[in-house]
Structure 1
Amino acid sequence: MREDDAPEAGPPPPTPDQVGPRVRTLWLVTHAEASHHVDGLVGGWFDSTLTPRGEQDAALVAQELRRRVPPGADVEVVSSDLRRAQQTAAAVGTVLGLTPSLDARLREKSYGVAGGRPQAWLDARFVPPPASGDRLRHDEGVDGAETWLTFAGRVYAGVSHLLARARDHQVVVAHGGSGQLVVAAWLGVPVEATAYARFRLPAGSITVLREDGRFHNREVTELGSTAHLRLRA
């Protein structure tokens, strides 16, 4: 065959986005029961660890995700760098065969000097936000505590970083407060609206967030589910 008679090269293989609608799923996990919960201490950036019950619940979270995340899926595990979240993420990473990466932006809200102190100490000094006005910049009366605006800004930045990566499945391990902001950021809720918007996420819960591949609509499929914890011994 002459060079001029060589068949023309065919079109390049389709990219994953061209094969068909791609569903993206973010599995938001709230860390399991930690020592500050049972000791009545302020959490925040206080680096508490999981209780024995929390370790058991983290294992149940991991088993539930192993059951629900498709085998061989393109998946990553990302966690807050606080130990209680890391321990929960490690349990998940073990069953999925993955090493979690850490992102300090997913930490809980900092309560400054109150972190690790008795909850009663904070309650006696805490200044609740006003019903109206600038709730985002409200000073809670505790040295070193983050304003809600600072807190929301860093969590939103962390979520933007997550969503910039093309992954079919992402397991995100956060906290009760920062997890709420993950949900808000996923839905595109303006930061200003988070001055009021809240989502209840119990310890050891799983929240399922999905984006369809055609319209790129995002939904909250499950919010703060703890059904898997019923298997606790």
Structure 2
Amino acid sequence: MRNLYVVTHPEATHHVDGLVGGWFDADLTDRGAAHAGQIAEALAGRFPATATVELFSSDLLRARRTAEVLGKRLGVGVLLDADLREKSYGEAGGRPQAWLDERFVPPPAVGERMRHDEGVPGAETKWELAVRAYAALDRILRSRVEHQVVVTHGGTATFLIAAWIGMPLDAAGLVGIRFSAGGITQLREDDYFHNRWIVHLNDVDHLA
């Protein structure tokens, strides 16, 4: 049995400052740091005392700090993976959200959505984000450790779920899952049918 917990980092400074995140290296707010502790306690309560746990994280500061809190509580080190980063918004990263909104070109309702140019220099396409998210999950699943935790970002988490259920990359252009800051999504693969379950999606009951 494999249990995979996808954690979206809690509140960061760009959230409260109205700035574009992406690869902009925002830190956790005090509230976000407190929520990281609550996430750690919630996860610790789900693992047997003898469980071996692996912990993976985006290398961006807000995710890395979250993972460090989890790792301290769970007694494990953090494996950083840049492919777990949020989508890069290029020149928009760290700017006011209104700056991006004025320039953003939304994808078409039909046709090519994954490789669509959103009009912001240096920004990743959804295809580029999805390719590295799929690759990151593939590397994580090569391990046979029963309990794994992944700290990432909302946009990236969407494509981790798509990869988990085996959605072909070319079919992922319409997928959209709303994740909350500090949410926990529990995934499970059983040893008999080898089904990949979504046990809990974006659970936030642990957050005060």
TM-score (norm 1): 0.88
For residues 94-114 of structure 1, give each alpha carbon's deviation from its aligned partner in whole angstroms, at most 9, with x where no partner exists: 110011110000000000000
List 4+ stretches of structure 1 deviating above 3 A. none
Tell me which residue corresponds to 2:79: 101
The separation in 2 between residues aligned to 1:31 and 1:52, in whole angstroms, is 13
Tell me which residue corresponds to 2:48: 70
Quick one: which amino acid aligns to residue 182 of structure 2?
A: G
For residues 208-233 of structure 1, give each alpha carbon's deviation from its aligned partner in whole angstroms, at most 9, with x where no partner exists: 0000011111010000010000xx2x
The correspondence for 2:146, drawn from 168, 189, 197, is 168
The correspondence for 2:200, drawn from 205, 222, 226, is 222
Tell me which residue corresponds to 2:38: 60
The correspondence for 1:112, drawn from 90, 94, 102, is 90
Measured after TM superposition, the shift of residue 191 of structure 1 is: 1.0
For residues 18-75 of structure 1, give each alpha carbon's deviation from its aligned partner in whole angstroms, at most 9, with x where no partner exists: xxxxx10001100000000000000000000000000010000000001111112121
Structure 1, unaligned runs of 5 or more: 1-22
1:71-150 matches, within 5 Å, as: 71-150=49-128
- The percent identity for this pair of structures is 56
The correspondence for 2:129, drawn from 146, 151, 157, is 151
Quick one: which amino acid aligns to residue 30 of structure 1?
A: T
- The SS at the match of 2:45 is helix
The separation in 2 between residues aligned to 1:188 and 1:69, in whole angstroms, is 26
Quick one: which amino acid aligns to residue 160 of structure 1?
A: D
The correspondence for 1:208, drawn from 186, 194, 198, is 186
Quick one: which amino acid aligns to residue 49 of structure 2?
A: P
Tell me which residue corresponds to 1:39: 17
Quick one: which amino acid aligns to residue 84 of structure 2?
A: L
Structure 2, unaligned runs of 5 or more: none
The separation in 1 between residues aligned to 2:128 and 2:33, in whole angstroms, is 31
- The SS at the match of 1:227 is coil
The separation in 2 between residues aligned to 1:225 and 1:200, in whole angstroms, is 12
The separation in 1 between residues aligned to 2:53 and 2:164, in whole angstroms, is 18
Matched residues, number: 208
- The SS at the match of 1:26 is strand
Matched, 1:196 2:179: no
The separation in 2 between residues aligned to 1:71 and 1:24, in whole angstroms, is 16
User: Alignment RMSD, CA only?
Assistant: 0.6
Greater Rg over alpha carbons, structure: 1
